Chains A and B, each alone.
Chain A
Amino acid sequence: MLVTPKPESTLPMKAPMFTSVISRIAVLILLFSLSSFAGLDQTAGSDVEMADTMRSNGKIYVLVAVMLILLAGLVTYLVIVDRKVSRLEKRLDDNA
């Protein structure tokens, strides 16, 4: 049988304020950065070597796909862990 948690255990409820403060600041920065879309420039053609070949034969899309697959895999793992922690928290709260 689990003992009733100490009153301090309610402390985690205050934490969401901090994460949501950071999250809201992040969204504000994002919104301000949208104004950058207004000033898109033309890049002048020049002699500087770039990966034009990869772009012209489409291989760049392969690279993007590979990286997105990696990202998807890592994010999926994180979601699974996040959900597992939520389940454990719920179990602990239910049993308390």
Chain B
Amino acid sequence: MRASWWKILSVLLLIYTFTAGLLGEVPRLAIVNETIRSLYFHVPMWFGMISLFGASAWYSFRYLRKPDTTYDIYSVQFANVGFAFGLLGIFTGMMWANYAWGSPWHGDPKQNGAAITLLMYAAFFVLRMSLDNQDQRARLSAIYNIFAFIAMIPLIFIIPRMQDSLHPGSGGNPGFNMYDLQSNMRIVFYPACVGWILFGFWIATVRIRVGLLEEKIEDSIAGDPKA
């Protein structure tokens, strides 16, 4: 987690995203106009959230197989940062929708699915806060976390595609074909996704390392007869 190469790559990709995202060519489409460039910022927030929640669920699964507090720390910190990315995704989406669709919230299925997902994970954090016993907290939140991740999949990926919606990709092909994602946009969009995902993992690993340090310090205080 201390390796630098992917962190430096992340920063370079984000610099590229910010620069090419604003200066690069985009299709001239009515209604969205220049806001189509939000694609490079709003959508990667969701990919970031999904990959971070996936990492969180993975460590929850590992905790259930072998109860080690380290796995619990990994799991909760990935969920933490994933939740932050999800909030940013919702707010950037609302801002974009306000100008492109006419109002910040449309009851669009994908918006609703994303909001429900965030509520489920908010409940995850509340659950953790309500349990004092460390083992119990880790075990119950691991179980809930896996459930929340599995529930997220139909909410975000499956149900929205089955309904009409203003979101690109609904009722048809997955993804971004509404804008007929030209190569002009792909060359910024894919690196942007990678950059933002790596950035999210960077923040999460720093938080995890802090959590591990806290655990070590607690252990040493608990084990030291002089303390």
Contact = CB atoms under 8 A, between A and B. Distances in A.
Interface of A: 1-3, 5-6, 8-9, 11-12, 15-16, 18-20, 22-23, 26-27, 29-30, 32-33, 36-41, 43-46, 48-51, 60-61, 63-64, 67-68, 71, 75, 78, 81-82, 85-86, 88-89, 92, 96
B24 to A, nearest CB: 10
Given A3-B223, A19-B201, A26-B6, A12 B33 contact: no
> Chain B: interface secondary structure?
helix
A50 B18 contact: no
A44 B191 CA distance: 25
Nearest to A6: B219
Contacts of A75: 11, 14
Contacts of A29: 190, 193-194
Contacts of B220: 2-3, 5, 96
Contacts of B216: 5, 9, 92
Contacts of B6: 19-20, 23, 26-27
The residue among A5, A26, A86 with the most chain B CB atoms within 10 A of its own CB is: A26
A64 to B, nearest CB: 5
Contacts of A81: 206
The residue among A11, A16, A63, A96 with the most chain B CB atoms within 10 A of its own CB is: A11
B210 interface: yes
B212 interface: yes
Given A26-B6, A92-B213, A68 B18 contact: yes
B29 A48 contact: yes
B119 interface: no
Given A64-B23, A92-B213, A82 B206 contact: yes
Interface of B: 1-3, 5-7, 9, 11, 13-15, 18-19, 22-23, 25-30, 33-34, 51, 55, 58, 68-71, 74, 182-184, 186-187, 190-191, 193-194, 197-198, 201-203, 205-206, 208-210, 212-213, 216-217, 219-220, 223-224, 226
A12 B205 CA distance: 11
B212 A12 contact: yes
B183 A85 contact: no
Nearest to A95: B220
Contacts of B22: 60, 63-64, 67
Contacts of A27: 6, 9, 194
A41 B183 contact: yes
Contact of A85 (B187, B210, B217, B219): B210
A85 B28 CA distance: 46
A26 B219 contact: no
Contact of A68 (B2, B19, B29, B201): B19
Contacts of A78: 202-203, 206
Given A16-B1, A29-B194, A49-B33, A22 B15 contact: no
Given A16-B2, A78-B206, 16 more contacts: A5-B219, A12-B212, A16-B1, A20-B3, A20-B6, A23-B201, A26-B6, A26-B198, A41-B182, A43-B28, A50-B34, A64-B18, A67-B22, A71-B15, A78-B203, A82-B202
